[in-house]
């Protein structure tokens, strides 16, 4: 079974054409056919090297083949808010997009005062990836199972590295802290958190399991004690879910998506959807992204909006409960 994901009925995106002898069209057909009329910029609100950046570049490379010029621009800083603030100040014509995570869309505005936007200010064009969280320890950790880890945490002094105090996995670790004696320790990004766990400066790291993290598991640098997914994960055989251990958390997976600012005309969104879906469903693109994580076909339209709406509701409830 694939990693947990919403079961959605995905209808193909179709343009309903007026009959040949009807009144003149509104120009929507022409607008869709003419897109893009200039370079499309995909903002990644983090530094180069992460999974969002890598997947944005894979997508842009494919789109460049036959859909005009698509470029990726890294606008890191502010916990991901600087790049997204730039997106929100752009013209809603579809030529400025962002490749972001579902937590960046739905959680960051709730916890980061630097965000000038809310989840309602996004048009989710296409959700292309889904990755579960994992509680990982270095290979020589004394904790062989999640039960051993949390038993030690109950006695105090056990730490979990996270990728930032305002990030989604710090939120999950904080939920675990309410039920156990574990102490979440925020670091400034994925690489520092991973380095801390591998170097013995934290007992574990709670992180998205994808890309380089999966490679570190496969190479034996890390062992996975548990996953935040709602169901067992195929590529983490024998790893229990936190829920099966009695720990309920708000986040099971994090999604990677291409988003536009609200207000982009429907026919332009349809053009972007068509082009992105054509790329994302190519086998070589799915392989580059990682077949364990790529959603093929991607989640688009109203289904994508439903995923973001549900995430926003979950995050809001947890943030309110934690004060």
Which pLDDT belongs to residue 250? Answer: 65
Question: Measured at the alpha carbon of residue 182, what is the angle toward residues 179 and 186, in degrees to the nearest 5?
Answer: 115
Q: Contact at 8 Å (CB) between 83 and 75?
A: yes
Q: At what angle do helices 301-322 and 168-179 cross, to 10 degrees?
A: 40
Fold match flag (29-130+254-322 vs 132-245): yes
**Amino acid 10: pLDDT:** 37
CA dihedral 77, 80, 83, 84 (to 10 degrees): -150
Looking from the CA of 111 toward its CB, the CA atoms found within 13 Å total 25
The answer, yes or no, to whether the previous bond of 36 is cis (omega within 30 of 0) is yes
What DSSP string runs through 112-132?
Answer: -TT----GGGEEEEEEEEEEE
Q: Give the C-alpha distances (Å, rounded to integers) separating 283 from 125, 195, 278, 287.
A: 20, 33, 11, 6
Alpha helices for 201-300 (secondary structure H): 211-218, 266-280, 283-289
- Distance from the Cα of residue 211 to its chain's centroid: 13
Q: What is the pLDDT of residue 299?
A: 96
So what CATH class is 29-130+254-322?
Answer: alpha beta
Q: Could you report the per-residue pLDDT of 107-146, keeping only the tens digit for each?
A: 999 999 999 999 999 999 999 999 999 999 999 999 999 9
What confidence score (pLDDT) does residue 28 get?
A: 56
Q: What would the CATH number be for the domain defined by 132-245?
A: 3.40.190.10
Specify the DSSP element, H or E, that contains 160.
strand 159-162
Are 183 and 159 in contact by the 8 Å Cβ rule? The answer is yes
For the chain, which residues make up each domain, given as ranges? 29-130+254-322, 132-245
Using 50 as the pLDDT threshold, list the residues of the chain that sit under it. 1-25
């Amino acid at each position: 079974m694939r990693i947990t994901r919403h079961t959605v009925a995905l209808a193909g995106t179709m343009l309903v054409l007026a009959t040949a002898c009807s009144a003149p069209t509104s120009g929507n057909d022409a607008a869709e056919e003419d897109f893009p009329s200039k370079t499309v910029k995909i903002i990644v609100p983090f530094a180069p090297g992460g999974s969002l950046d890598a997947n944005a570049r894979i997508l842009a490379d494919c789109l460049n083949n036959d859909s005009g010029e698509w470029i990726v621009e890294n606008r890191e800083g502010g916990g991901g808010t600087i790049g997204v603030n730039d997106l929100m100040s752009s013209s809603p014509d579809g030529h400025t997009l962002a490749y972001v995570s579902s937590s960046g869309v739905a959680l960051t505005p709730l916890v980061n005062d630097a965000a000038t936007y809310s989840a309602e200010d996004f048009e989710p064009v296409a959700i292309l990836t889904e990755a579960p969280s994992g509680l990982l320890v270095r290979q020589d950790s004394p904790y062989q199972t999640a039960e051993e880890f949390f038993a030690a945490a109950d006695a105090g002094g056990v730490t979990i590295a996270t990728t930032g105090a305002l990030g989604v996995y710090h939120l999950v670790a904080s939920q675990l802290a309410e039920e156990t004696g574990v102490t979440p320790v925020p670091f400034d990004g994925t690489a520092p958190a991973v380095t801390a766990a591998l170097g013995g400066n934290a007992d574990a790291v709670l992180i998205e399991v994808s890309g380089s993290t999966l490679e570190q598991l496969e190479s034996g640098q890390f062992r996975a004690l548990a996953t935040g997914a709602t169901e067992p994960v195929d590529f983490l055989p024998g790893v229990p879910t936190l829920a099966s251990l009695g720990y309920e958390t708000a986040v099971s997976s994090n999604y990677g998506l291409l988003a536009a600012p609200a207000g982009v005309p429907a026919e332009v969104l349809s053009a972007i959807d068509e082009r992105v879906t054509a790329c994302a469903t190519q086998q070589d693109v799915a392989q580059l992204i990682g077949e364990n994580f790529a959603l093929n076909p991607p989640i688009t339209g109203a289904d994508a909006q439903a995923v973001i709406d549900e995430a926003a509701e979950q995050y809001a409830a947890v943030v309110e409960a934690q004060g």
